[in-house]
Structure 1
Amino acid sequence: MTAPTDFRDMTRALYAVVSAAPGKRDWQGIRHYYHTDARVVRTGLDAAGAPFAKIMSFDEYVANVESLLQEVRFSEVELTHEALIFGNVARLTSVYEFTWKSPTETRHGRGVNFFTVIHEGGQWKIMSIVWDNERPGLTLPSSLL
């Protein structure tokens, strides 16, 4: 993979998989983008308003997403994308909007994924993805849009 065009291909592929219908998500089709030791981190606020970080391996992330979205239609679309590359490391910033639709409720929102990517074995591999979504009191700054 060359950069930065292929970084956009990477993020689009990830969004396409998570946006697929339940039972139709091709996780194995994107596994090659991830380093074997990659971490995927969901952040946010718990029910009491305290910050949390759920740190997962790729396989733990897949299981988590499949359980959370089993009865839900979910889609994410990338709004903006920025890559900063230095040698064999890169930081990607990907702003997205999402739609979460259950049989009784529809939610829309935006968030940001921060990727840490390394160049290894002739390929760029995701070492980590950390994200958070907008919520009351937290909106995306104009510098990310």
Structure 2
Amino acid sequence: MKRFAQLGLAAVLALGPFTGSAFAQQAQANAPTVQAQAKDVESIDGIVAALYDVISGPAGKERDWNRMRSLFAADGTLRAVVPKDGAFVIRTMSVDDYITRNSPHFASNGFFESEVARTTEVFGQVAQVFSTYQSKHASSDAQPFARGINSIQLYNDGKRWHIVSVLWRGEDANLKLPERYLKKQ
């Protein structure tokens, strides 16, 4: 057993230069294609606020889609949990898929999404944000038309935060937001 462990370590050490090169190439591939504003990506607070800001606006207001692209890793995704045929499925979109899918709706409908509460866990360069949201047609609406949770996964490359994935689930008649996700932390 000890000999196997030594061989395993030797094999890992032998792959070191190759692995480092592969990781460097992968990191380069994951780099965003649009330059981000420093204030948007220097903190978790900044990137989450920028995400909500960039998708919100009155009907007909052109969103700053390059700003949105700059928040995500190049291979970042957005996923929605949606009902289908009595079950639930995940609709997966790239950032550009999201833009294509939502631009026509935003052209004729106001959409303002804001954070109500947040739970954040961080381990080194990895962060998980459970962000409770509310959606309104106008920022002045008294009540939201939708609420739910955005589960946002982020990583920090040593220079800035990147959104790797946003997975969301809206509240419905059968699933109400628990109190713990409605309190500011």
TM-score (ref. length: structure 2): 0.67
- What displacement does 1:93 show? 1.1
RMSD of Structure 2 on Structure 1 (CA): 2.2
Any stretches of 5+ residues in structure 1 without a counterpart?
none
Among 34, 44, 69, which residue is 1:31 paired with? 69
Amino acid across the alignment from 1:69: F
Instruction: Give a deviation string over 1:35-80, Cα, whole Å, max 9, x none.
Output: 001011011213x433121101111111112133332111111111
Contact 1:8 1:81 in 2 (8 A): no
Matched, 1:97 2:134: yes
- What's 2:80 paired with? 42
Task: Tell me the percent identity.
Answer: 28
Matched, 1:132 2:169: yes
Decide which structure has the larger Cα Rg and report it: 2
Any stretches of 5+ residues in structure 2 without a counterpart?
1-37
- What's 1:7 paired with? 44
> Which one has more relative contact order, counting CA pairs under 8 Å at least 6 apart?
1
- What's 1:117 paired with? 154
Amino acid across the alignment from 1:91: Q
Matched, 1:16 2:56: no
Amino acid across the alignment from 2:136: T
SS in 2 for 1:137: coil
Instruction: Give runs of aligned pairs for residues 34-113 of structure 1, distance below 5 A.
Output: 34-46=72-84, 48-100=85-137, 108-113=145-150
- What displacement does 1:23 show? 4.0
Amino acid across the alignment from 1:131: W
Structure 1 stretch displaced more, 106-115 or 31-40: 106-115
Structure-2 separation of matches of 1:117 and 1:14: 12
Structure 1 stretch displaced more, 18-27 or 126-135: 18-27
Q: Which protein is richer in strand relative to its size?
A: 1
SS in 2 for 1:78: strand
- What displacement does 1:107 show? 6.4
SS in 2 for 1:140: coil
The number of residue pairs the alignment matches comes to 138
- What displacement does 1:121 show? 4.8
SS in 1 for 2:180: helix
Amino acid across the alignment from 2:128: R
- What displacement does 1:135 show? 0.7
Structure 1 stretch displaced more, 75-84 or 128-137: 75-84
